[in-house]
Amino acid sequence: SMTLNAWVGHPSLKIFDNSCDFETKMQRVVEETARLVGLPTHLQRVTTKFLLKKEPDLSAFPKEVAYQIFEVEKVYLYEENEVVSQENVLKEYSFIRKRTSLRKSGKESGSVYGWTSVQTMKDGQRVEKKRIITKREYLSLFNNRDKTRHIVRQKRISFLWNIQSFNIHVFKEPSDVCILHAQVRSSPDSNDTVDMPPFLDVDRLITDSEEDEMYG
């Protein structure tokens, strides 16, 4: 429990439980590692998303549930107009992100900056490549951003519940929706279901495309 709580809020936190045999568990680890470094895998879905009726009241969280709060700024860059060199890539776009940790008092405690490229393959698989960038690189890319797209600003609340990782995205701009991301699946044959935290007011399940439409 203490080890898990120490990792709450890490942007790449993944939990591999003992609900399967050792070989299957190792295969999940290998597939997830490949996905993180931008290699195609058999990993089909990492999170399930739910629309919340309202922003959760943190005072309603059980005392044993540790959580971390972040402010996130996501900025889309210009899409490449050139034909993608890989013949199996259907579409590609990229964005930069500023992620600021907040203390429970609301005071900022430091920011990290990242760049992400997302490729949609012809077989429907999404491949992401990520790297950490400096503040100077972030500001330079920010000044050359795609100004036809909204800058997405949100608060994120990260926590664990019954050995599952959850992230609540509270959008501030360009809309004010609140979406729960739940890590439930790590391989195509996984039958994991969401053990929904009872202290959240859930509206309904949503898709990736619905989430994109909700915030612009």
pLDDT score recorded for residue 83: 45
Full-model pTM: 0.71
pLDDT score recorded for residue 138: 97
On the CB side of 183, how many CA atoms lie within 13 Å of its CA?
21
pLDDT in tens, the chain (216 residues): 666 667 676 766 777 777 676 666 676 777 777 766 656 555 555 678 999 999 999 999 999 998 999 999 999 998 755 445 566 778 888 999 999 999 877 888 899 999 998 888 787 777 788 899 999 999 999 998 999 999 999 999 999 888 788 999 999 988 889 999 997 655 445 556 788 999 999 999 998 777 777 655
